[in-house]
């Protein structure tokens, strides 16, 4: 179930409307701006231009395109929303090590929350993501600073900032600094959504989570071609369902 | 009004009588003043919310509980909605539905999913309880059993017309027989409030002929849904000679709130869709009758040459050959035009009892 029928959907709370309310709450509390969201969109589109498998590989999006795109649910505009894409992804999982290219799954965290937005106390973070992240870091024996790249669930631009905060890459509300200062760019301290993310790699609903795993594995194997990161030994994926009703966090490590 | 579970504290704005989470007892209370925390202006239409823009308000009551509400009016964060300020959000609708056939059941499902109060009337209490079970099955495709049972709390079953006194709109979907429908309209006119709009889901009968037996012809209108109601997005809003502008406008608006697209048409035989469809089906039957092409080849030609999902003869079989002939006869007698005469081959099939899918054979075996 992607949304609460009685409490939310009946009140017209379609997906972008939910994230629009989250964006409003985040902007009001932390001073996040529309331009911060535009920068997230721009970065992910630029990343997709390096990824031949991305939905928007051939599309050049400028900051003006993003700022002037039509409103969907205020404050979110068209370019704050991920597209609905066609796509598929698969992973072979084994208990046995078969090759030097194998990537180790070192942690799997998962948590849930109420499906209805109205039943939550706070709208600026996802409790489920915070819990899933804590589980994953504990299992892996790692800290956020140990992660070389992150693939996060940016179904809307605001969701990327909220994810970075929930995953501990910065303090709550400081996601805006990460994007403004280029920390999440390919050359930054925590490259995020280097495949283009859901925003520009695409969002083939059921396959998006595994597409993130594909990107991390490809980067850890050093086979990402033009978009290969210089340092990629550990990677994290973060996938969300039902406006934070479910959140799953995985951590991967390069084979020795 | 707000309803909250006395045991787990889950809250609703919908008319719920048992908790959808824990089945606990539900108490009704006033939410007091509601403060607007955040607002989004939605400009993107969706299946269930076709009319944009609208506003989604995230509200907080005096004890810190949150609510999401839809509003047509713009609000700003910090606005306070006074107690009982329901007029600024969409008002609830109480819909009466007469008849437990395919269409009546489909309309009930649609209204339940939209969160409306529904009063469902039929002569037989058994067909009503069977109908309710079918509605529940439909709701279960979209929600958990507890939630579905909660939604079903706003469905009232009735075998007498008096139960419809509180309905704002009644849609009758009884058998396509003018005498039967006129009797229904007479009874509705007596039982329903003077403000209520009375609508017919008829696909072929005259709205004026039904309006004539009531004391409120200005509030009589056609509201023609299509089968299957859940998937077909069209509603033909049929204006009789005396139907008021406001009546047609209200019914169009209500159709939109049910996620449908209304078109307004004057009361004329076949309205739009059947006026276009029926002669086309009839022509396909004539091609077979004249030995020009086989049943399969006619259907194949239309499917591949016109891109229709189903050929005309397959469609007649689906509708029922007898129903098809009845509609053609009705078009012919109401217009007095021979071009609407049903193809003889269809009459022969009816005489042989080959009525289409429902009897296992029609044009196709």
pLDDT per residue, tens digit, chain B (365 aa), is 677 888 888 777 666 778 888 888 888 776 678 889 999 999 999 877 878 899 999 988 887 888 888 888 888 888 888 654 443 345 567 899 999 999 999 999 999 988 889 999 999 999 999 999 999 999 888 778 887 888 898 899 999 999 999 899 999 999 988 999 999 999 999 999 998 999 999 988 899 999 999 999 999 999 999 988 988 999 999 999 999 999 999 999 899 888 899 999 999 999 999 999 999 999 999 999 999 999 999 999 999 999 999 999 999 999 899 989 998 998 999 899 999 999 999 999 999 999 999 899 999 98
Question: Count of CB contacts below 8 A, A vs B?
Answer: 96
Q: Which residue numbers in chain A have pLDDT < 70?
A: 1-7, 9
- Catalytic residue, chosen from B4, B122, B202, B224, is B224
Among B44, B59, B86, where does a domain finish? B86
Domain limits at B169? 94-266
Write the DSSP string, B204-270: SS-HHHHHTTSS-GGGEEEEEE-SSTTT--EEEEEE-TT--HHHHHHHHHHHHHTT-EEEEEES-TT
Q: Report the distance separating Cα B9 and Cα A117, nearest Å.
A: 15
B183 is catalytic: no
A250 with A213: CB under 8 angstroms?
yes
Are residues B54 and A12, on separate chains, in Cβ contact within 8 Å? yes
Question: Which of B255, B230, B231 shows the shortest CA–CA distance to B171?
Answer: B255
Q: Report the distance separating Cα B327 and Cα B322, nearest Å.
A: 9
Query: Quick check: helix, strand or coil at residue A82?
Result: coil
Note whether residue B82 is domain-resident: yes
Note whether residue B133 is domain-resident: yes
Specify whether B151 is located in the same domain as B227.
yes
Count of H-run helices and E-run strands, chain B: 11, 15
Residue B189 to chain A, least CA–CA distance (Å): 32
Q: Which residue's structure tokens are 């299957």?
A: B228
Q: Which residue's structure tokens are 């787990």?
A: B8
Which residue out of B44, B117, B259 would a mutagenesis test of the A interface target, given it has the greatest number of A Cβ atoms within 10 Å? B44
Which residue out of A2, A4, A7, A12 would a mutagenesis test of the B interface target, given it has the greatest number of B Cβ atoms within 10 Å? A12
Q: Where are the strands (E) in chain A, listed by range?
A: 71-73, 76-77, 103-112, 149-151, 234-241, 246-254
Give the residue from chain A lying closest to B53, CA to CA.
A73
Give the residue from chain A lying closest to B141, CA to CA.
A1
Question: For residue B68, which residues of chain A lie inside 8 Å, CB to CB?
Answer: 7-8, 11, 13, 21, 116-118
Angle at B280 between CA B329 and CA B269, to 5 degrees: 40
Q: How far apart are the first and last CA of chain A?
A: 40
Residue A156 to chain B, least CA–CA distance (Å): 15
Residue A98 to chain B, least CA–CA distance (Å): 44
Question: For residue B76, which residues of chain A lie inside 8 Å, CB to CB?
Answer: none
* Structure ipTM: 0.91
Q: Say if strands A71-73 and A76-77 run parallel, antiparallel, or are unpaired.
A: antiparallel
Q: Report the distance separating Cα A255 and Cα B8, nearest Å.
A: 48
Bridge partners, residue A104, by sequence: A253
Among B37, B70, B86, where does a domain finish? B86
Specify whether B104 is located in the same domain as B212.
yes
Specify whether B248 is located in the same domain as B351.
no
Q: Report the distance separating Cα A179 and Cα A165, nearest Å.
A: 12
Note whether residue A182 is domain-resident: yes
Note whether residue B364 is domain-resident: no
Note whether residue A4 is domain-resident: no
Among B61, B86, B111, where does a domain finish? B86
B162 is catalytic: no
Specify whether B201 is located in the same domain as B116.
yes
Residues 104-133 of A with CB under 8 A from B: 116-121, 123
Note whether residue B130 is domain-resident: yes
Note whether residue B296 is domain-resident: yes
Task: Please name the member of A9, A13, A14 whose beta carbon is closest to the beta carbon of B44.
Answer: A14
Give the residue from chain A lying closest to B115, CA to CA.
A10
């Amino acid at each position: 179930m992607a949304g609460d029928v009685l409490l939310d959907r009946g009140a017209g709370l379609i997906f972008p409307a939910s994230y629009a309310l989250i964006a409003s709450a985040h902007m009001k509390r932390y001073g996040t701006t529309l331009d911060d969201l535009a920068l997230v969109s721009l970065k992910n589109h630029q990343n997709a231009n390096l990824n031949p498998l991305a939905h928007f590989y051939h599309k050049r999006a400028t900051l003006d395109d993003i700022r002037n795109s039509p409103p969907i649910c205020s404050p979110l505009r068209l370019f704050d929303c991920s597209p609905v894409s066609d796509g598929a992804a698969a992973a072979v999982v084994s208990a046995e090590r078969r090759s030097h290219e194998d990537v180790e799954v070192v942690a799997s965290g998962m948590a849930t929350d109420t499906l209805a937005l109205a039943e939550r106390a706070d709208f600026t973070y996802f409790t489920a993501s915070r819990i899933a992240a804590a589980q994953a870091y504990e299992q892996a024996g790692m800290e956020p600073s140990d992660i070389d790249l992150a693939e996060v669930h940016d179904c809307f631009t605001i969701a990327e900032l909220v994810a970075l905060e929930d995953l501990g890459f910065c303090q709550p509300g400081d996601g805006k600094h990460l994007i403004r200062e280029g920390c999440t760019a390919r050359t930054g301290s925590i490259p995020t959504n280097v495949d283009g993310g859901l925003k520009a790699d695409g969002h083939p609903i059921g396959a998006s989570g595994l597409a993130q795993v594909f990107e991390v594995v490809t980067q850890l194997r050093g086979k990402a071609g033009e978009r290969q990161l210089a340092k990629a030994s550990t990677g994290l994926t973060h996938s969300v369902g039902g406006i934070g009703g479910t959140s799953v966090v995985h951590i991967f490590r390069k084979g020795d | 009004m707000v309803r909250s579970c006395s045991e787990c504290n889950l809250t609703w704005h919908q008319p719920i009588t048992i908790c959808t989470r824990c089945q606990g007892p539900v108490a009704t209370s006033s939410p007091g003043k509601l403060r607007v925390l955040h607002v989004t202006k939605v400009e993107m239409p969706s299946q269930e919310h076709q009319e944009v823009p609208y506003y989604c308000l995230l509200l907080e009551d005096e004890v810190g509980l949150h609510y999401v509400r839809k509003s047509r009016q713009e609000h700003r964060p910090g606005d306070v909605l006074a107690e009982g300020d329901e007029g600024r959000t969409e008002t609830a609708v109480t819909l009466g539905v007469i008849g437990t056939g395919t269409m009546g059941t489909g309309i009930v499902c649609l209204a339940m999913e939209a969160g409306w109060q529904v009063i469902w009337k039929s002569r037989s209490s058994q067909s009503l309880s069977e109908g309710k079970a079918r509605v529940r099955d439909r709701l279960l495709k979209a929600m958990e059993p507890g939630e579905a049972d909660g939604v079903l709390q706003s469905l009232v079953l009735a075998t007498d017309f008096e139960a419809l006194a509180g309905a704002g709109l009644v849609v009758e979907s009884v058998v396509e027989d003018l005498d039967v429908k006129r009797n229904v309209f007479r009874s509705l006119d007596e039982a329903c409030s003077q403000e209520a709009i009375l609508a017919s889901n008829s696909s072929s009968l005259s709205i004026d002929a039904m309006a004539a037996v009531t004391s409120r012809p200005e509030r009589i209108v056609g509201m023609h849904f299509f089968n299957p109601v859940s998937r077909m997005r069209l509603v033909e809003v049929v204006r009789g000679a005396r139907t008021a502008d406001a009546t047609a406008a209200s019914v169009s608006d209500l159709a939109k709130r049910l996620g449908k697209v209304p078109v307004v048409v004057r009361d004329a035989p076949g309205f739009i869709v059947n006026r276009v469809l029926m002669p086309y089906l009839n022509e396909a039957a004539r091609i077979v009758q004249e030995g020009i092409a086989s049943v399969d080849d006619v259907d194949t030609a239309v499917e591949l040459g016109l891109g229709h999902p189903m050929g005309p003869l397959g469609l007649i079989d689906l509708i029922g050959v007898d129903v098809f002939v009845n509609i053609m006869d009705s078009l012919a007698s109401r217009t007095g035009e021979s071009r609407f005469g049903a193809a003889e081959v269809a009459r022969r099939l009816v005489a042989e009892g080959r009525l289409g899918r429902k009897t296992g054979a029609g044009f196709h075996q």
